Each structure stands twice: as structure tokens, then as C-alpha cells.
Amino acid sequence: IHHDLWDYDLPSMPTLVEINQKGKKVEAVLQATKTGFLFVLDRLTGQPLFPVKETEVAQSDIKGEKSSPTQLFPQSPPPFTTQSISADDAWGLTFWDRKQCRDKLQTLRNEGLFTPPSVNGSVLFPSTSGGSNWGGLAYDPDSGLAVVNSTSVITSQNLVPREGFEGSDDAQPKQGKSIAMMPGTPYVWIREFL
């Protein structure tokens, strides 16, 4: 991840495998990510064994923040989890639940994977606990099949000005809400499950 604004660190260990590429056995490393990508790298050189493209992504709207204009998108294998969501995808047990979810999604900045945090709120999907997290993956050398446990958690992320944060409603703890104080910045980062 270039200039990680999302907490998309690599949460699990890489998996060492041998794969067949163009009829030749290659010692490789498989790295599953929170974003739902699986990177396949040459174990000796660290170079990708399949094309990886620098892809333009949404830019930060926070004054003074310069987000990376691109992120790395492996072209193969395909993502192992859904990487975008819209208000039309809203789910709930009842019509009321679905409407609340749809209404909330419509208020958030949502420009796909790598939508930056915003003072107006933005969608974080997959969430920092989404995609492949601590569980990593398993690999069957006989079939060449990688099995990845994937989580499709949707959260909102909001940057709240630090000034006046203490004592505000935003500062109150509640279930499904994480607060990161981000010392040295003018903002507090709040993530909530949707």
C-alpha cells in the first residue's frame, strides 16, 4: 500500500509455495491482503509472477494531505472478495433496516477501493478487518488451490477535528466503534461498523 491511510497493513504471514508457471516450477510467496488481493511473488527476487498495475485511485479531500495517486492492483489471480459496495447493495433483516443502511451509505464518500478518509465520512470496504486478516491462507500443492478465509465487513471512517473532540458525542464509546487519536495530527479517526 502506498501511503496507507486505511490501516491496510499485511495482517497475516506469507505462504511459501511452488507453482507451475509456463511449464516450470517456481518457488513463490503468496500474500493475501485486507483489500482482497492475492499477490504472487517470486520467492528469490520478490518480483511479481503475474502483472501488477499501478491504478489511479480517489484522492484525499483533507487540506494538506497528499494521498498516493495510484495503488497496486494485481491483474491475476482475481480478487478473492468483493471490493466495492453501493447503496443498492444495502442489506437488513427488515425493510426499515435496509432503508437505514441504504440511507447511511448514500451519505458517505464512496469511490471504491481506497476511498480516503474524509471529514464528511467515507466507506471503508473491505474494512480493516475485511479481506484476509489474521487467518492467512492454506495452499494445496497437488491441486494448486489456495484457500483463503475472507471477511466482507463494511465500515464507515470519519476524520473528526481534534479541537473540541473531548466531551463531544463523537468521543462517546459505543459497540462497533473504534477511535484512533492519531497524535500529531489535527484529526481523530473514527471507524464504525455499518
* 73-90 mean pLDDT: 94
Span 108-159, pLDDT tens digits: 999 999 999 999 999 999 998 888 888 889 999 999 999 999 988 899 999 9
Query: So what's the pLDDT on residue 171?
Result: 87
* Helix ranges restricted to H, the chain: 95-107
Catalytic residues: 7
Query: Does residue 164 register a pLDDT over 90?
Result: no
Query: Does residue 173 register a pLDDT over 90?
Result: no
Q: Is the dihedral of CA 94, 97, 100, 102 positive or negative?
A: negative
State pTM to two decimals: 0.90
Average pLDDT, the chain: 93
Cα–Cα distance measured from residue 113 to residue 175, given in angstroms and rounded to the nearest whole number:
25
Question: Would you state the cell numbers that stand for residue 145, as one nine-digit string?
Answer: 488451490
Q: Is the dihedral of CA 190, 88, 33, 151 positive or negative?
A: positive
Asked if residues 37 and 30 have their Cβ atoms less than 8 Å apart, the reply is: no
Site of grid cell 499501478: 54
Site of grid cell 467515507: 122
Span 4-35, pLDDT tens digits: 999 999 988 999 999 998 899 999 999 999 99
Q: Is 169 helix (H, G, I), strand (E, B) or coil?
A: helix
* 89-110 mean pLDDT: 92
Query: So what's the pLDDT on residue 26?
Result: 95
With bands split at pLDDT 50, 70 and 90, how would you rate the model's confidence at 169?
confident
Q: Count other C-beta atoms under 10 Å from residue 26's C-beta.
A: 15
